Amino acid sequence: SDRLKGKRAFVTAAAVGIGRACAVAFAREGATVFATDIDEAKLAALKSEGIAEVARLDVRDSAAVAAIAKRAGTTDILLNAAGFVHHGTVLDCSDEDFDFSFDLNVKSMHRTIRAFLPGMLENGRGAIVNISSAAGVFKAAPNRYVYGATKAAVAALTRSVATDFIAKGIRCNCICPGTIETPSMLERAAAAGPNGREMFIARQPMGRLGTAEEIAALAIYLASDESAFTTGVAHVIDGGWTL
Ligand code: NAD
């Protein structure tokens, strides 16, 4: 339980789901964790989970991201979890929908990496973990037009950062989950109709949804020195969805 001992971690979209599970798991492994989200009420509950600091952060706000990075100080681990699933095809996706998805899912990571990387470079080390998706990177999913495009962009951005800073002690990896039981996933299932949950389970060959804790287990590995020889990789963890 000390795989991240002595490390400082910063997490976005940490109020629920994958971001929350990662923040809590990092703290359990000994990291000093700064957890952020736009949902302040749900964030507050994290304080009893060993999280050192919580604060409101809208990752769509460049000035706010820059300011909080200053406040956070030198950070060893940056976990970018913020993301939104737009439902529909190209015909359902307005210019506004497109821009919103790219802003929240991709540009948010550009903002946080630009804000935190200089401190990591000064320190000579850093691990960046971006939450992408199996959808978009390893397979196309129906009605995930702009979502898939954003997640493929996350994988590309991840490789670019990895290659540009590989000799400077910085590693950058992304995680590509399958169908994970989280609040927004359950909302998407409910919106799909009375059998929505079963439909989402049916696309997972293992016959069950993944858990946020299973994603956090991989995030710990990628954030820790155990993965020191791994960078720029899209790590699929999807219960066989892409088999
Ligand atoms: P979720 O979608 O249930 O919750 C998202 C969180 O993001 C919420 O706490 C919300 O308040 C926060 N948020 C929304 N807008 C924000 C903003 N502008 N700034 C800061 N925070 C904001 O959580 P989830 O399903 O675990 O998704 C987390 C990440 O995992 C996303 O990037 C998602 O695309 C990715 N992912 C999820 C699944 C899945 O099946 N759940 C699969 C693959 C990838």
Active-site residue, from 138, 147, 200, 241? 147
pLDDT above 90 (res 168): yes
CA of 122 to the centre of ligand 1 (A): 30
Report which secondary-structure segment, H or E, holds 120.
helix 108-123
DSSP 176: E
Tokens read off for 14: 């940490």
- Spatial distance between the Cα atoms of 67 and 58, rounded to a whole number of angstroms: 12
pLDDT above 90 (res 231): yes
The pLDDT tens digits of the residues spanning 67-97 come to 999 999 999 999 999 999 999 999 999 999 9
Burial 117-129 (b: 16+ CB within 10 A, else e): bebbeeeebbbbb
Report which secondary-structure segment, H or E, holds 22.
helix 17-28
Pocket lining: 174 vs ligand 1, CB cutoff 6 Å: no
Q: Whose CA is nearest to atom 7 of ligand 1?
A: 13
> Domain 8-178+212-234 is of which CATH architecture?
3-Layer(aba) Sandwich (3.40)
Q: If pLDDT is split at 50, 70 and 90, which confidence band does 156 have?
A: very high
Q: Which residues does residue 180 pair with via DSSP β-bridges, in sequence order?
A: 210
Domain borders along the chain are 8-178+212-234
Q: Which residues does residue 88 pair with via DSSP β-bridges, in sequence order?
A: 144
Cβ 145 vs Cβ 92: under 8 Å: yes
Q: Whose CA is nearest to atom 39 of ligand 1?
A: 180
Cβ 85 vs Cβ 142: under 8 Å: no
Pocket lining: 238 vs ligand 1, CB cutoff 6 Å: no
- Spatial distance between the Cα atoms of 22 and 13, rounded to a whole number of angstroms: 10
Using DSSP, state whether 152 is helix, strand or coil.
Answer: helix
Using DSSP, state whether 97 is helix, strand or coil.
Answer: helix
Pocket lining: 112 vs ligand 1, CB cutoff 6 Å: no
Pick the closest to residue 185 from 211, 206, 152 (CA basis): 211
pLDDT above 90 (res 150): yes
pLDDT above 90 (res 114): yes
Pick the closest to residue 81 from 99, 103, 62, 108 (CA basis): 108
Q: Which residues does residue 236 pair with via DSSP β-bridges, in sequence order?
A: 176
Pocket lining: 133 vs ligand 1, CB cutoff 6 Å: yes
The DSSP code sequence of 31-81 is -EEEEEES-HHHHHGGGGGT-SEEEE--TT-HHHHHHHHHHH-S-SEEEE-
Percentage above 70 pLDDT, the chain = 100
Q: Which residues does residue 127 pair with via DSSP β-bridges, in sequence order?
A: 77, 171
- Pocket probe for ligand 1: among 22, 34, 38, 213, the residue whose CB has the most ligand atoms within 8 Å is 38
- Concerning whether 147 is annotated as a catalytic residue, the answer is yes
pLDDT above 90 (res 170): yes
ipTM, two decimals, is: 0.99
| Mean pLDDT for the stretch of residues 197-221 | 97
Q: If pLDDT is split at 50, 70 and 90, which confidence band does 184 have?
A: very high
| Mean pLDDT for the stretch of residues 149-159 | 99
The pLDDT tens digits of the residues spanning 52-64 come to 999 999 999 999 9
Give the global pTM.
0.98
pLDDT above 90 (res 1): no
pLDDT of residue 216: 99
